[in-house]
Structures are given as C-alpha cells and as structure tokens.
Amino acid sequence: MEKFIIEGGVRLGGEVTVSGAKNAALPILASTILAPGRHTIENLPMVSDIKVMRTLLPYIGAHISNGRALVVEIDEIKRPEAPYELVKTMRASSLVLGPLLARCGYAKVALPGGCTIGARPLNMHINALRAMGAEITLEHGYIEARAKRLEGQEILFDNPTVTGTENIMMAATLANGTTIIRNAAREPEVVDLTLYLKKMGAKIKGEGTDTIVIEGTERLSPSTHRIIPDRIEAGTFLIAAAATHGTVTVKGCIPEHLDALLLKLKEIGAAIEIMGDVIHINGPSKIKPTNITTLPYPGFPTDLQAQFMALLTMAEGTSIVTETIFENRFQHVPELVRMGADITVEGMTAVVKGAKKLVGTEVTATDLRASASLIIAALAAEGTTEVSGVYHIDRGYEKIEDKFSALGANIKRCMEE
Ligand code: EPZ
C-alpha cells in the first residue's frame, strides 16, 4: 500500500493544467456500446476508474487502443455483462446497463455493493428501465435485464440522479418512441455525454435543464469526442491554493462549471480572476468563515465538500457545512480532528469552529474526495503528515503529487512500512 508524506506550511504558487473529467469520460466510454464501429475519445484522464472501464469494455467485446486518446470498436457484443470483480472496484460500471440493454436487449450487471459515502442504491435506474418495458430481476447480487426493444416513456426521478439520468438517456436513444426525463440531473458531465450522443446521431433536447427529451432512433454511428475538463479537480486545486494562502493559476478549465465554488471562495476572502479557460486565485491572508450546503448542479458540488471543509477548519470563525446528497460523506471529519480541527457533526450538518492551526500527523483516507481533503489539510498544516490509503485518490486524480509538487508543495509518494 502507498502513502503520501507531506511537509506543510508551503504557500502554493504557479500554474496547473486540469485533466479530462473522469465523470464525463465514464458515461461517454459506456455510450460507445450503443454503436458498432470506431469511436475516438480524447483527453481521457489517466486515473484508475478509467482503467477499470478500459478493462470492462474489452470484457464486453470491445477492441480498444492504448494511450490518452482511446479508440473503441465494439462490432460484436461478446458478453453483455459487468462482472462483480470489476463492478466492486468501480460502481459506475453500472453505466453499461442502459447501453447493453439498448444495443442487444440483454444486460447482466453486478450490484455494486457498499460504498463508504452511502448506500447508493440503483432503484431509480431500475424503476425507469422497467417503466420502459425491461424485465429486470435482482438475484444473487446481479441485475439481469431483458427487453426486445425499450419503449419511450415519461420518467420522473425522486431526485436528480447523475448516473441515473445518464443510464436512461443512453437507453432511450435506441428506444421505440420518445422518452422524457423529468427531474433530470443538470451536471456538465451529463451535458458532455449528450453532446457525444448527438454526434452519434441521437435526437436529444433539454440537456443541462431538469427536463430532457430523447426521441428514439433505429441506430447510432460512432464519432469522435474530446472530454471536458474536470471541474472537481480544478476546484480541488483552487481550494488548496486558498488554504495555503497561495497564488495559483488553474489552466484549461471551464469557469462557469465552478460558479458555486468561486462564489464561496470569494466569501472566504480569496481574489479570483477569470480569463477565458484560466482561473487565477490569490488566497486570502486571513480566511473568513462561510456556510456551504451541497446541492445538485448548479449548487455547491458534494464532490468538493470535504476539500472545502479542510479550508474552513482554518477560518477566523465558525462555519456550517450541510451535506444533502450522500448520507455518510463526513468520513474526513475524524481525520481532520486528529490534525487539530474543531468539528462536530450533527446528522447531515458539520459545525466547523475555525482558527485552528492544523498540525501534521498520520491520517487515513477513506474515499476519493476525503483523500483530497486530507492532502489539502496536510499542505496547510504545521509539520509532517502521512496520508495512507492513497489508492483512493488515484481513482479520480491524475498524478496529483506531481501536480502539487509543480506548485511548490513538498509531497512524496512512498510505500507503507
Ligand atoms: C455521481 O454519482 C458521481 N459519479 C459522484 O462522484 C457524485 O458525487 C454524484 O454523482 C453526485 O453529484 C459519477 O458520475 C461516476 P447520484 P451517482 O445518482 O450518479 C441516491 C466522485 O467523487 N440515489 O446523483 O452515483 C444516491 O444514493 C463520485 O467522483 C438513489 O437513492 O450519484 C445519492 O444519495 C462520488 N437511487 C443521491 O441519489 C438511485 O437509483 C445522488 O446520487 C440513484 C441515486
């Protein structure tokens, strides 16, 4: 197992370029199942979640190339399945459910099982596909779905599920008739998937709003696409700059995807300058407290909650952090407390009493974004911090220690004794 050893107290400075968005790449790679022929997907981040998808697609029957630009050809579906050994390492493998069902009328996908941030069931995906005429059984830890041809349907989600919207949108592109998804997710990653589906010939309207209309077609054709930049990676670096009173330029991002975060960074006293696809941040000398509530896009993203909380532990006052998306996304709190933070959790709310000087110690990452939170805390802390469980961070961040080192951080990856 690997860990990071981080010497804190360094003001970050310099430039960092954002990689492609993992959460756009995953559904777009799954969508290649919908059309035989040669798809070319560029700007893929080299992260372990994408590696899992690069294993799953060939398992299903794809021929794929190597490298950052991925050529995928699935002329024949060999195994319309996502086996447990792959799904357990990456729950977003469930994104092949809709495309397989639409392409070959059958899909067998392992139920993902537990996740540290919450139960994360797939009931909305399953209910929607059933409403579209799929026969679905849940046995022995697998979802088995059958449908000669899915029927267009009006779907209303209890809450705007991101991968639920993506799964149903992909399934609906080859359905008979029109599907309307209401209370749809509005995330930029859903919009990027829609862009690629439309390049393949899908007839879709309303992406980026809470109502998406998909008119089913007989077939789709492969195309090429460049994945959008990762707004969560960009946000992570912006928060790290603010936490270390640094001056950082984040390049190759889409600033409007970060509006909710930028508003909060200004509230805590950071100076932000936007020039095209570049965001320049001057971290404040004194961090002001503020309150954040995570919400579906365009609200404050749950995937930046842990990182922003690390920043708030050093604010001159008390902040309230409310997590409304996942029921167990405060796993970073006990670890931050071990570094000297004063945080009390009451249900879905954390009260962060600031003005604490964090002190380095050994901490353990429990999930992808909690890892990023602990790295930010370690960069700002006095002394040395050892962050173990580094495999979590590699799921969603490409060479994060190299990018932070290029900003002046003193961070080393090494093997745990
Ligand atoms: C996507 O997960 C992202 N993953 C997550 O990013 C992100 O945190 C999440 O959206 C929210 O923005 C990918 O895109 C691959 P949801 P997803 O369905 O689609 C409940 C990261 O760090 N729900 O929008 O799984 C669910 O339990 C990851 O990169 C049901 O109850 O999230 C959660 O409480 C973490 N039934 C809420 O809805 C369902 O059928 C939102 O989940 C589906 C979801």
**C-beta of 121 in contact with ligand 1 (< 6 A):** yes
Residue range 306-316: average pLDDT?
Answer: 97
Structure-block tokens of residue 223: 């195309």
Tens-digit pLDDT profile for residues 167-210: 999 999 999 999 999 999 999 999 999 999 999 999 999 999 99
Residue nearest to atom 43 of ligand 1 (CA): 122
Please check the confidence at residue 280 and state whether its pLDDT lies above 90: yes
- pLDDT at res. 66: 80
Most informative mutation of 47, 303, 308, 371 for ligand 1 (most atoms within 8 A of CB)? 303
Tens-digit pLDDT profile for residues 122-136: 999 999 999 999 999
Q: What is the pTM of this model?
A: 0.97
Where exactly are the structural domains of the chain? 2-19+229-415, 22-226
pLDDT band (50, 70, 90) for residue 116: confident
Please check the confidence at residue 356 and state whether its pLDDT lies above 90: no
Count of beta carbons in the 10 Å neighbourhood of residue 137: 11
Residue 230's identity, in one-letter code, is: D
Sign of CA dihedral 325, 281, 378, 414: positive
Please check the confidence at residue 355 and state whether its pLDDT lies above 80: no
Alpha-carbon gap, residue 293 to 305, rounded angstroms: 8
- pLDDT at res. 222: 97
Instruction: For domain 22-226, give the CATH number.
Output: 3.65.10.10
Q: How far is CA 149 from the centre of its chain?
A: 31
- pLDDT at res. 113: 77
- pLDDT at res. 177: 98
In percent, the amount of the chain with pLDDT more than 70 equals: 100
Please check the confidence at residue 138 and state whether its pLDDT lies above 90: yes
Between the CA of 296 and the centroid of ligand 1 the distance, in Å, is: 10
Between the CA of 7 and the centroid of ligand 1 the distance, in Å, is: 34
pLDDT band (50, 70, 90) for residue 316: very high
**C-beta of 305 in contact with ligand 1 (< 6 A):** no
Tens-digit pLDDT profile for residues 363-378: 999 999 999 999 999 9
Place of tokens 């409007």: 256
Superfamily covering domain 2-19+229-415:
Enolpyruvate transferase domain (3.65.10.10)
Establish whether domains 2-19+229-415 and 22-226 are of one fold: yes
Residue nearest to atom 30 of ligand 1 (CA): 121
Tens-digit pLDDT profile for residues 282-298: 999 999 999 999 999 99
Tens-digit pLDDT profile for residues 79-92: 999 999 999 989 99
Radius of gyration of the chain (CA): 21
- pLDDT at res. 417: 77
Please check the confidence at residue 400 and state whether its pLDDT lies above 80: yes
Which among 150, 152, 128 is positioned nearest to 213, based on CA atoms?
Answer: 152
Nearest atom (ligand 1) to Cα of 368 = 22
Tens-digit pLDDT profile for residues 18-76: 999 999 999 999 999 999 999 999 999 999 999 999 999 999 999 999 877 899 999 99
Active site residues: 115
Alpha-carbon gap, residue 222 to 212, rounded angstroms: 22
Average pLDDT score over the chain:
96
